[in-house]
């Protein structure tokens, strides 16, 4: 069964992913929600992400913190 999220309005959405190739040749995984289970459906939320709901009720996948080995996120500062 694919990962499902029911929003505040009672509508159910299913998490999907797709790997695309950018113009630079780099591979990037895109995550999105759909109203039906289709090819590319995921069974759980990827590590380092969390589900949030936008103002208009659509589910959105957001990063929940720093991912290990992610070069785009600066390392934590020791104080």
CA torsion 41→44→50→55, rounded to 10°? 40
What's the pLDDT tens digit per position in 13-29?
999 999 999 999 999 99
Which residue in this structure is represented by tokens 């995550």? 31
Q: What is the pLDDT of residue 5?
A: 96
Q: What is the pLDDT of residue 1?
A: 86
Q: What is the pLDDT of residue 10?
A: 95
- Decide if 51 contacts 8 (C-beta within 8 A): no
Q: What is the pLDDT of residue 3?
A: 95
What's the pLDDT tens digit per position in 50-74?
999 999 999 999 988 766 666 665 5
């Amino acid at each position: 069964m694919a990962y499902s999220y029911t929003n505040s309005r009672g509508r159910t959405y299913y998490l999907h992913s797709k790997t695309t190739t950018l113009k630079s040749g780099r591979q990037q995984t895109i995550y999105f929600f759909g109203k039906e289970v289709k090819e590319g459906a995921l069974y759980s939320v990827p590590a380092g992400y969390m589900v949030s709901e936008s103002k208009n009720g659509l589910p959105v996948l957001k990063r929940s913190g720093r991912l290990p080995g992610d070069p785009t996120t600066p390392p934590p500062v020791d104080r």
